[in-house]
Structure 1
Amino acid sequence: MKFFCAVMLVFSLLAGCQTSDEKVSVNSEEDQEETKEKTAGGIEALRDSEESASGDGMVETKEKDDDHEPIDIILTGDVMFEWSLEETITAHGPHYPFEHVKKDIKKADYAVANLETAVTDHDVAYKKIYNFKTEPENLDGLIDAGFDFVSLANNHTMDYKEEGLLDTIDALDASSLDYAGAGENKEEAFAPHTVELNGETIKLLAFSQVLPSIDWYAREGQPGIASGYQEERVLNTIEEVEKGADYVLVYMHWGDENGYVPEEAARNYAEKMVDAGADAIVGAHPHVLQGFEFFDKKPVAYSLGNFLFPDYVEGANARTGLLNLTLDNGDVSMSFEPWFIENDQIVERGEEYHVKMLRHLEDHSYGITMKEHSIKSVK
């Protein structure tokens, strides 16, 4: 009798979901089959809840898998190959800038950077102060260093207009690098990249809140960038992507250049993205490192600064590092290893620099404490 009542309850709930002012459509055979599956799933869930309930009414919860292999993902900031780097790479090759740091990048299961340049030989540039481009061969430096994925959602991948963006996409498609955040149309630009690591499904999204013009927005039939200004679309995209993922990682281009702390709007946006289903959010664009925060135990790194920029960078602009996210049984932990940009290479600076940088980042974070390189929430 209990099971019969449960069946009737499921059918009642399904029927009650159609309100009087909703548009009514005739289901196809495929839709009808999906409805049957959902109905069967609801009945099965009710049956399981009856069978698993203990004498005090508590329902058993899924235990963590002790044999589960954690996943380590390295994330870094902005990468470009212009100015002094052109001469350095001509002399030493595209691998040279990463020679010191690649040993640590390669320890990760997956590594991510922000590709802040077009990869093209197109000469017609968008009218702006700085325009960056590079040759496809320089992507080999990223690949040799251990990188697997680049974000294209920023204010430089369309420096050489639509043609430059399409060349960039073609160059990446011809390489082993994955990407997200731009595409030949809106659907492609907002689509996640999906990767399977240690039996888990991870989906990476990229958006930019820094774009020179609405002409850069990806639209139907128009190449462009996944705009982070379209907050509702971003949140809806995260919600939809989360349904088919074990983890959703978001790379967001945002903030003020050379600002040590994020704008309050960015903090609010980050919390909304977590509420929508993001498991971690990483930012870039300020060209300096910013602090960290957790929302509902989900980590946010507001800016990873520059990672490979020409030798004109100094001081705060030359401070960089590797952010490590460890994904383990639904939890995401975070740690940071400071590095430094010097003479067109990413180099170590010793223990004193590490201590100073970690203290600086802790002072510019929200509700966290740093023990050695590990970042913990104290909210």
Structure 2
Amino acid sequence: MYGGFMYHYESDQGNLDIALLGDCILTRKLSVFRESGYLEMVNSIRKNDLVLANSEMLFHEYEGTPAWDHGGTHMASDPNNISELHWLGVSMISCANNHANDYGPRGVLDNISNLDKFNMPHAGTGRHLTEATSPTYLDTPRGRIALISVTATLPANGSYAGEPTSLDRGRPGANVLRHNIQYVVPKQDLYALQKISEGLGFEKGKKRLVVSRNPGLRTDDENNFQFLNTNFAPYPKFEFSNFTVGDEYKVITTPNVEDLNRNIKWIENAKHFADWVIVSIHVHDCGKEETDSPDFVKEFAHKAIDAGTDIFVSHGSHHSYQGSRGIELYNGKPIFHGLGGFITQSSVKWSPWDAYQRYGITDQINSTPSEFETRRSSIGREYDVDRIGMHGSSYVSMQWERKECVKILIHPVTTSSQNVSIFKDRSRGTQGRPMPAQGEIADDIINRIAEMSSEFDISIAKENDIGVINLNK
């Protein structure tokens, strides 16, 4: 109060419009196309106060060394394509995902440098673990928004950021949420695992390495057994799969306590400095069904909201429907258990030697990238490629009023996946670019998300090819 007048800030109203795009794998231009439906979609995205995307891409010019083969595409995009994301309306991106380390520590740092050069706020990777975990902020007329980006999926080559010590520097990488897995099996199956482990000689190695490398690790008993994963016999990688006795087969997952507590601490920090907090997590894992979010992610989502998160969004599941999963409302805050792929352009300029080798291309020296991509894209055709779900996805937008989410809109899109036979004759220059879905395809996408959201008592109506969740009661 000053001179009889109360000064009000627009951010005090608690109103905000947000769009979440899910996975964006961008290798080509977006701004040159002019289909009316496409431009209408772009304008619909741009009108939001914030547009968040998961950049499952590294922006660099191949300065780094490719990481040892991790089973997927080694991502690389011209840094100028960051401007294409700006053109689309993207105002903030998450970077923590399984591709963060595709080109080693140098690739992590080059990507960060290029994002900074093009003024794209980002979170999830850093020069060390604290930087990777800490939030990035975006100031908007309607308030300050914080983003924390996490990945629960990382390749065997590792992309886990590390802290510096007084004697050594930190390790560039991603903010990772590891998780514990407990396999519940009948007692006779546990005995069979014990016999296999003894017969292959793993028990001797386990007893030796538990003492030297894992002091304090849980010991085996008649109802619990740690079975070894061995990637390179006779030099096994000593990571334990934990089995326990139960009446039925099931998998129990829980978040790693150290990673969970670290992220919760930074969420609380973000809440202190921002009006809105968003947590974005990349995860390939699933629950009992491929469309289910794993239990450890659900636990993290609830604890993140308890700590001050306003929006929790998951992405990265590569099942049918481009990874879409259900929508939950927890204490009035939306949890998106799986946004699908929004841009799926994985046609990179170069791929490393071991990527060619994995797909049976023996002459890696004289082979071209087109041979690699043709071989790889043909693999998926033996599966259920004609389902609408294999090329149908969506992005979501939300309306907030007085700090309450009052409406969620589901915008179906099609990305013309190269693995879908009905698009097999479409040019590579077109594949992977999103277009608004209509009619039967739009209905199918919305119905599927509604089915997956029903377990959370969420009802989705349809209006003009858009799914609508009204929360204003």
| Bin of the TM-score, shorter chain as denominator length | 0.7 to 0.9
Q: C-alpha displacement at 1:371, in angstroms?
A: 2.3
In the alignment, residue 348 of structure 1 is paired with which amino acid?
P
1:76 corresponding residue in structure 2: 21
In the alignment, residue 266 of structure 1 is paired with which amino acid?
V
Is the CA contact 2:25–2:55 (under 8 Å) kept in the aligned structure 1? yes
- For residue 158 of structure 1, the aligned residue among 72, 84, 101 is 101
Is the CA contact 2:109–2:127 (under 8 Å) kept in the aligned structure 1? yes
Q: Name the stretch that deviates more: 146-155 or 312-321.
A: 312-321
> Structure 1, residues 226-253: CA drift from partner, whole Å, max 9, x if none?
1122111112221222122221111111
Question: How do 1:320-339 and structure 2 match up within 5 A?
Answer: 320-333=393-406, 334-339=408-413
> Structure 1, residues 19-52: CA drift from partner, whole Å, max 9, x if none?
xxxxxxxxxxxxxxxxxxxxxxxxxxxxxxxxxx
SS at match of 2:394: strand
Q: C-alpha displacement at 1:98, in angstroms?
A: 9.2
Is the CA contact 1:69–1:198 (under 8 Å) kept in the aligned structure 2? no
1:349 corresponding residue in structure 2: 437
Aligned residues: 306
State the alpha-carbon separation in 2 of the partners of residues 132 and 110 from structure 1: 26
- For residue 232 of structure 1, the aligned residue among 261, 264, 270 is 261
Q: Name the stretch that deviates more: 211-220 or 69-78.
A: 211-220
The TM-score with structure 1 as length reference comes to 0.74
1:243 corresponding residue in structure 2: 272
SS at match of 1:124: coil
Q: CA RMSD for the aligned pairs?
A: 2.7
Question: How do 1:36-75 and structure 2 match up within 5 A?
Answer: 68=13, 70-75=15-20
- Unmatched tracts of structure 1, length 5 or more: 1-64, 83-88
The 3 A distance-change label for structure 1 pair 66 and 206 is closer
State the alpha-carbon separation in 2 of the partners of residues 103 and 247 from structure 1: 24
- Unmatched tracts of structure 2, length 5 or more: 1-9, 164-169, 179-258, 347-376, 417-429
* Percent of residue pairs identical: 25
Q: C-alpha displacement at 1:134, in angstroms?
A: 1.3
SS at match of 2:338: coil
* 2:282 equivalent to 1:253: yes
SS at match of 2:269: helix
Question: How do 1:21-36 and structure 2 match up within 5 A?
Answer: none
The TM-score with structure 2 as length reference comes to 0.60
Question: How do 1:296-311 and structure 2 match up within 5 A?
Answer: 296-310=331-345
- For residue 268 of structure 1, the aligned residue among 265, 278, 299 is 299
State the alpha-carbon separation in 2 of the partners of residues 176 and 66 from structure 1: 23
Question: How do 1:155-304 and structure 2 match up within 5 A?
Answer: 155-213=98-156, 215-220=158-163, 221-229=170-178, 230-256=259-285, 259-287=290-318, 288-304=323-339
* 2:203 equivalent to 1:129: no
Q: Which runs of 4+ in 1 moved over 6 A?
A: none
State the alpha-carbon separation in 1 of the partners of residues 470 and 272 from structure 2: 27
Q: C-alpha displacement at 1:285, in angstroms?
A: 0.9
The 3 A distance-change label for structure 1 pair 187 and 98 is farther
Is the CA contact 2:101–2:158 (under 8 Å) kept in the aligned structure 1? no
2:86 corresponding residue in structure 1: 143
- For residue 117 of structure 1, the aligned residue among 57, 66, 81 is 57
Q: C-alpha displacement at 1:351, in angstroms?
A: 3.4
SS at match of 2:263: helix
Is the CA contact 1:95–1:142 (under 8 Å) kept in the aligned structure 2? no
Q: Name the stretch that deviates more: 259-268 or 125-134.
A: 259-268
In the alignment, residue 276 of structure 2 is paired with which amino acid?
Y
> Structure 1, residues 105-145: CA drift from partner, whole Å, max 9, x if none?
11111211111122122352111122111111222221111
In the alignment, residue 145 of structure 1 is paired with which amino acid?
L
Q: C-alpha displacement at 1:376, in angstroms?
A: 4.7
Q: C-alpha displacement at 1:364, in angstroms?
A: 0.5
In the alignment, residue 270 of structure 1 is paired with which amino acid?
A
Is the CA contact 1:246–1:330 (under 8 Å) kept in the aligned structure 2? no
